[in-house]
DNA sequence: TCATTTTTTTAGTCTAGGCTAATTATTATT
DNA sequence: AATAATAATTAGCCTAGACTAAAAAAATGA
């Protein structure tokens, strides 16, 4: 698999995650920031490699083999992110782009040793689970913050958006992975919410922000 | 610079190292394991970027700017090799191929942090000096083992060949960076030599092997 | 249902980096 | 100095991965 193929397959995997059976050409183009015409071409190639099932005009469905390969790339991406944050003192908003390159280095030994060196981490700096070498991820149920009800409580365990802009914003307002939160108020009009962080700090946030924060109930 | 351009420029830099003013198309093709026709094409491109001076039919000369860029790639390569050996417990014969990929990751911050994490190493696992961030290398005079005379002494400080085959051979016979050696005998007929390692072990080696071992006199 | 809109694919073009075969320049040898 | 050998370049082709414009299929909705 080339770097481009790995990136496409990973995008298709992520687009399929919400349990969607099929992913459209336009969806992939959006995720990859390429044109639909380029996507059609790539889908044909990935179809021939049998990592996806591709029916012209009807979108694409990732195969078990494809899922396995995508999870390997994701594993590598997240392990490198842990390395950058834990060992090289990168901030959590600085790691995504570099990991996007590092994930394509081809060396099973490297990843095995890196995993050991990092002490077999289970989550990356954004709270996302790291698949094991067989592609198994232990997924605990998580809620999206903007869908929680008043008085519900929980802990921030992950973010959906790993862009520097979003993560810097969270840093600024004091939201972080592990923070204990409680829903204080919700505004029907715009969907914005008010939460209590660590039993001491009130925090208002827009629906857009809350929709990118994942909560686990304790 | 693309990965391919970086690899070519590095090869040209290494081929120029012996003080040779100009490097031939065939030399580059040999080092890169590509055909001369492909090299001609690349030389034109590198010439346009002014990292080399290219006169058709008369070989190529690396510019100061080219040297600077090559040294940055070499710096990255060698830092990654140190990381693999010191932190991930790779053997010195296992690192070259992986470093060949890692050296192309584009992130100045990454290299700066990696350097600090490794405690600013001055040499890679093969004894080669690591250029600093300005491209400066501190080069101490080194002799090639097969050119030394009987009774001369010194320390193995580096190897010229970083292939797994060669390094595994050195492991097997007990030669390593840092070993103190003394020339016991030389055979004119085939250039083979006998050395004493660490004042206790006699070691015979062919001219070919000795020609890839670098000695610093103490 | 049938026309319009939207989505997707195809056709054709481009660049990077390879290749082979043919040509040309340089170097070596009579 | 002329010819032969060698080295290097050019010409033409290929694949991967992008793109635009045109064509075709599917979805929408009057
Ligand atoms: Mn990537
Ligand atoms: Mn992440
Ligand atoms: Mn390389
Ligand atoms: Mn090395």
What are B66-114's pLDDT values in tens digits? Answer: 999 999 999 999 999 999 999 999 999 999 999 999 999 999 999 999 9
* Residues A66-117, CATH architecture: Orthogonal Bundle (1.10)
Q: What is the C-alpha to C-alpha distance for residues A196 and A185, in angstroms, rounded to an integer?
A: 10
Distances (CA, A) of B15 to B18, B19, B22, B105: 7, 9, 9, 23
Residues of chain A with CATH 1.10.60.10: 66-117
* Mean pLDDT, range A54-75, rounded to an integer: 97
Interface touch A107/B98, C-beta < 8 Å: yes
pLDDT score, position B138: 86
- Alpha carbons within 13 angstroms on the beta-carbon side of residue A46 total 36
DSSP state of B145: G
- The Cα of B108 is separated from the nearest Cα of chain A by a number of Å equal to 10
Contacts of B105 in chain A (CB under 8 A): 98, 101-102
Query: Would the Cβ of A59 be found within 7 angstroms of any atom in strand C?
Result: yes
Quote the percentage of chain A above a pLDDT of 90.
Answer: 95
pLDDT score, position A195: 95
> A104 CA distance to ligand 2 centroid (A)?
15
* Mean pLDDT, range B25-29, rounded to an integer: 97
How sure is the predictor about A43, in pLDDT bands with cuts at 50, 70 and 90?
very high
* Mean pLDDT, range B202-208, rounded to an integer: 95
Residues of chain A with CATH 2.30.30.90: 143-217
pLDDT over 80 at A119, yes or no: yes
pLDDT over 90 at A62, yes or no: yes
Residues of chain B with CATH 1.10.10.10: 3-62
Interface touch B84/A114, C-beta < 8 Å: no
pLDDT over 80 at A134, yes or no: yes
How sure is the predictor about B20, in pLDDT bands with cuts at 50, 70 and 90?
confident
pLDDT score, position A93: 96
Q: Which of residues 106-165 of A touch strand C (CB under 7 A)?
A: none
Which of A90, A105, A109 is nearest residue B101 as measured by Cβ atoms?
A105
**Sequence-separated (6 or more) residues with CB below 8 Å from residue A37:** none
Q: What is the C-alpha to C-alpha distance for residues B32 and B14, in angstroms, rounded to an integer?
A: 11
Residue matched to tokens 């990965």 = B3
**Sequence-separated (6 or more) residues with CB below 8 Å from residue A51:** A9, A62, A63, A65, A66, A69, A70
- Helices A108-117 and A64-82 sit at what angle, rounded to 10 degrees? 50
Quote the percentage of chain B above a pLDDT of 70.
Answer: 100
* Mean pLDDT, range A147-158, rounded to an integer: 95
> A200 CA distance to ligand 4 centroid (A)?
54
Domain A143-217 has CATH 2.30.30.90: yes
Interface touch A113/B90, C-beta < 8 Å: yes
pLDDT over 80 at A92, yes or no: yes
Residue B83, Cβ density class (10 Å: 0-12 exposed, 13-18 middle, ≥19 buried)? buried
Contact A84, A90 (CB under 8 A): yes
Interface touch B110/A89, C-beta < 8 Å: no
Q: What is the C-alpha to C-alpha distance for residues B132 and B122, in angstroms, rounded to an integer?
A: 8
Q: What is the C-alpha to C-alpha distance for residues B40 and B55, in angstroms, rounded to an integer?
A: 11
Distance of CA A8 to the CA centre of its chain: 15
Q: What is the C-alpha to C-alpha distance for residues B197 and B199, in angstroms, rounded to an integer?
A: 5
Q: What is the C-alpha to C-alpha distance for residues A6 and A27, in angstroms, rounded to an integer?
A: 17
* Mean pLDDT, range B43-71, rounded to an integer: 97
Contacts of B102 in chain A (CB under 8 A): 102, 105
What is the fold of B3-62? Arc Repressor Mutant, subunit A (1.10.10)
pLDDT score, position B30: 97
Contact B114, B83 (CB under 8 A): yes
Distance of CA B177 to the CA centre of its chain: 14
């Amino acid at each position: 698999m080339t770097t481009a193929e790995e990136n496409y397959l990973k995008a298709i995997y992520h687009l399929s995650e919400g349990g969607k059976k099929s992913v459209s050409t336009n969806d992939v183009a959006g995720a990859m920031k390429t044109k639909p015409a380029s996507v059609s071409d790539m889908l044909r190639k990935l179809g021939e490699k049998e990592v996806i099932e591709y029916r012209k005009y009807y979108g694409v469905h990732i195969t078990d083999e494809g899922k396995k390969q995508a999870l390997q790339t994701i594993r590598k991406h997240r392990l490198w992110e842990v390395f950058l944050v834990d060992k090289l003192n990168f901030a959590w908003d600085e790691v995504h782009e570099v990991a996007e390159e590092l994930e394509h280095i081809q060396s099973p030994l490297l990843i095995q040793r890196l995993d050991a060196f990092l002490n077999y981490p289970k989550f990356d700096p954004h709270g996302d689970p790291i698949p094991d070498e067989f592609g198994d991820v232990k997924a605990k149920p998580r809620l999206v913050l903007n869908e929680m009800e008043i008085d519900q409580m929980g802990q921030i365990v992950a973010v959906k958006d790993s862009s520097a802009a979003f993560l810097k914003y969270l840093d600024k307002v004091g939201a972080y992975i592990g923070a204990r939160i409680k829903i204080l108020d919700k505004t029907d009009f715009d969907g914005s919410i008010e939460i209590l962080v660590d039993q001491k700090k009130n925090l208002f946030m827009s629906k857009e922000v809350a929709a990118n924060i994942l909560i686990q109930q304790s």
